[in-house]
Chain A
């Protein structure tokens, strides 16, 4: 498909499975946003506002990653229950357009919660450059999550497995590494290990955007480079290794 037709195709898919769906079933947006908000609430309350920046940053990272990964459970549902992937495969629509369309629809579902967390973030953000960096960070987190989600959706045999994988990956990438809590509470060896996890960089970038202190051995350029590397790698793996045609 031509580039214009591809973008148009992705936007149509996003409109149908995102905007139209959310308009007719608005409760789905609250359901998926409940965990990031619960984490935000607990951390902000327990620390009496002391770690509110970590809570906002962590909430945003978890929200965008979870909605990216949720593409996996939705795409699995569409493939197994609805046979939508079968219909799409036998058509001019490419796997990239399908993935982008579904990923954009997940972004639509993340929208209401992201707006609330974004407003809180604006209150802490020193300037527009920081806001731009925060937005870029969140887009990369969403794209990484979407690529991983699409990849596993083409392999898992059951819808239930997909839901479990989303919960597992989301927890492993946002609760274990220093996403909701400061890096310095970890022992030195775990601090070094946590730099191998993309969400650590996302969290540090968003904390930097919110005007918070960052570790001395890390810089925003390292964070952007690492996050870009992960995002491009995940996207390439998803497009090359996703099982578009079944075997």
Chain B
């Protein structure tokens, strides 16, 4: 049986005098060594849940354990074993990239030698080695974000909490971070990730949870979540069809200038024949996690 890194039951968080919970009766389990991703719209409760689990925020009610210890009653035994990258954090302006990572490791009671080796390695992996001596105020937004990521992943923490870590990174840098996260995964470290990038969630996650208005609305592997959607094919039409006509083939929605229809393989074949006859401009692709997510949180209808 796989050991459990996080277990929560009926976890609820209500901020101050608000009546609506930010996290509403959440129950889930994160296994050791797994990358578990939280998805959801803005304000869905992802960051609140992550901050509670990382011992930064007290829940209103419910039970939550991380690495076998109660988050509310015994945070001191959890804290040495975890590390976080906060959402919208910033490095301290006059300190250098090296200062941030190296001294952070020393602060966590690591030896100088190990801290030096780890700092070199992580800065090289994140392509920050040329900026080692640069003060962080001289860096771009994406580079600053990489400094914060480096501070978390350079530690020896067993459980990492990464709150939208790749926000603002260019596509190449994002993939660098993915590689680093995958390496941590291979070291059997547990990662709780939040993201709005569904390709990121798809590429990295062992399991995902979709939150909406603080509630858990779906949970499982990427394949399991994709399986929730009956439609397997997505067709985007730029020309050739009206919304009403496409709606007879499946779930239809407007995406920018085009019309998107999610449909079954059989109906897709018919529709493609018709589109070719009409010389319509269109693109066919399999349904993605993106489609599942939109269906879950926008319509709440998976048919």
CA separation between A65 and B26, bound complex, in Å? 46
CA separation between A24 and B92, bound complex, in Å? 12
Which of B85-135 touch A at CB < 8 Å? 86-92, 94-95, 99, 103, 106-109, 135
Chain B: residues with Cβ within 8 Å of the partner, total of: 32
Contact A1 B94, beta carbon cutoff 8 Å: no
User: Chain B residue with minimal CB distance to A4?
Assistant: B109
Given A83-B88, A245-B56, A247-B57, also A90-B95 (CB < 8 A): no
17 contacts between A and B (CB under 8 A): A16-B92, A16-B103, A20-B95, A21-B95, A24-B94, A24-B135, A83-B86, A83-B90, A84-B92, A86-B51, A87-B84, A90-B79, A90-B84, A91-B79, A91-B80, A91-B107, A245-B55
Contact A17 B92, beta carbon cutoff 8 Å: yes
Please tell me if B75 contacts chain A, counting CB pairs below 8 Å: yes
Please tell me if A228 contacts chain B, counting CB pairs below 8 Å: no
Contact B107 A246, beta carbon cutoff 8 Å: no
Could you say which residues of chain B place their CB within 8 Å of the CB of A93? 107-108
Could you say which residues of chain B place their CB within 8 Å of the CB of A86? 51, 54, 56, 84, 86, 89
Could you say which residues of chain B place their CB within 8 Å of the CB of A83? 86-90
Could you say which residues of chain B place their CB within 8 Å of the CB of A8? 106, 109
Given A16-B103, A93-B108, also A245-B75 (CB < 8 A): yes
Please tell me if B82 contacts chain A, counting CB pairs below 8 Å: yes
Contact B107 A89, beta carbon cutoff 8 Å: no
Please tell me if B161 contacts chain A, counting CB pairs below 8 Å: yes
Using CB atoms and an 8 Å cutoff, list the residues of chain B in contact with chain A. 51, 54-58, 75, 79-80, 82-84, 86-92, 94-95, 99, 103, 106-109, 135, 148, 151-152, 161
Please tell me if A9 contacts chain B, counting CB pairs below 8 Å: yes
Q: Contact string, A1-36, partner B, CB cutoff 8 A, digits 1/0?
A: 100010011001101110011001100000000000
User: Chain A residue with minimal CB distance to B161?
Assistant: A90
CA separation between A90 and B95, bound complex, in Å? 21
Chain A: residues with Cβ within 8 Å of the partner, total of: 28
Q: Which 5 A-B pairs give the minimum distances between C-beta atoms?
A: A83-B89, A92-B80, A83-B86, A24-B94, A90-B54
User: Chain A residue with minimal CB distance to B87?
Assistant: A83
CA separation between A91 and B83, bound complex, in Å? 6
Could you say which residues of chain A place their CB within 8 Å of the CB of B83? 90-91
Contact A9 B58, beta carbon cutoff 8 Å: no
- B67 to nearest A CB, angstroms? 12
Contact B80 A89, beta carbon cutoff 8 Å: no
CA separation between A20 and B106, bound complex, in Å? 16
| Interface contact tally, CB-CB below 8 A | 85
Could you say which residues of chain B place their CB within 8 Å of the CB of A247? 57-58
CA separation between A17 and B92, bound complex, in Å? 9
CA separation between A240 and B161, bound complex, in Å? 27
Inter-chain pairs besides A12-B106, A91-B79, 17 sampled, C-beta below 8 Å? A8-B106, A20-B99, A24-B94, A24-B135, A82-B90, A82-B91, A86-B54, A86-B56, A87-B86, A87-B148, A89-B54, A89-B56, A91-B108, A92-B108, A92-B109, A93-B107, A245-B55
Contact B92 A245, beta carbon cutoff 8 Å: no
CA separation between A78 and B57, bound complex, in Å? 17
Could you say which residues of chain B place their CB within 8 Å of the CB of A91? 79-80, 82-83, 107-108
User: Chain A residue with minimal CB distance to B15?
Assistant: A247
CA separation between A77 and B135, bound complex, in Å? 18
Which interface residue of B91, B95, B107, B135 has the most chain A CB atoms within 10 A? B107
Contact A90 B56, beta carbon cutoff 8 Å: yes
- A14 to nearest B CB, angstroms? 11
User: Chain B residue with minimal CB distance to A10?
Assistant: B107
User: Chain B residue with minimal CB distance to A101?
Assistant: B107
Could you say which residues of chain A place their CB within 8 Å of the CB of B56? 86, 89-90, 245-246
User: Chain A residue with minimal CB distance to B160?
Assistant: A90
Could you say which residues of chain A place their CB within 8 Å of the CB of B95? 16, 20-21
Could you say which residues of chain A place their CB within 8 Å of the CB of B99? 16, 20
Could you say which residues of chain A place their CB within 8 Å of the CB of B107? 9, 12-13, 91, 93
Could you say which residues of chain A place their CB within 8 Å of the CB of B55? 89-90, 245
Could you say which residues of chain A place their CB within 8 Å of the CB of B88? 83
Could you say which residues of chain A place their CB within 8 Å of the CB of B87? 83
Could you say which residues of chain A place their CB within 8 Å of the CB of B54? 86, 89-90
- A100 to nearest B CB, angstroms? 13
Could you say which residues of chain A place their CB within 8 Å of the CB of B91? 82
Contact B109 A5, beta carbon cutoff 8 Å: yes
Contact A246 B58, beta carbon cutoff 8 Å: yes
Given A9-B107, A24-B135, also A87-B89 (CB < 8 A): yes
Could you say which residues of chain B place their CB within 8 Å of the CB of A78? 92
CA separation between A105 and B186, bound complex, in Å? 40
Contact A12 B89, beta carbon cutoff 8 Å: no
Could you say which residues of chain B place their CB within 8 Å of the CB of A246? 51, 56-58
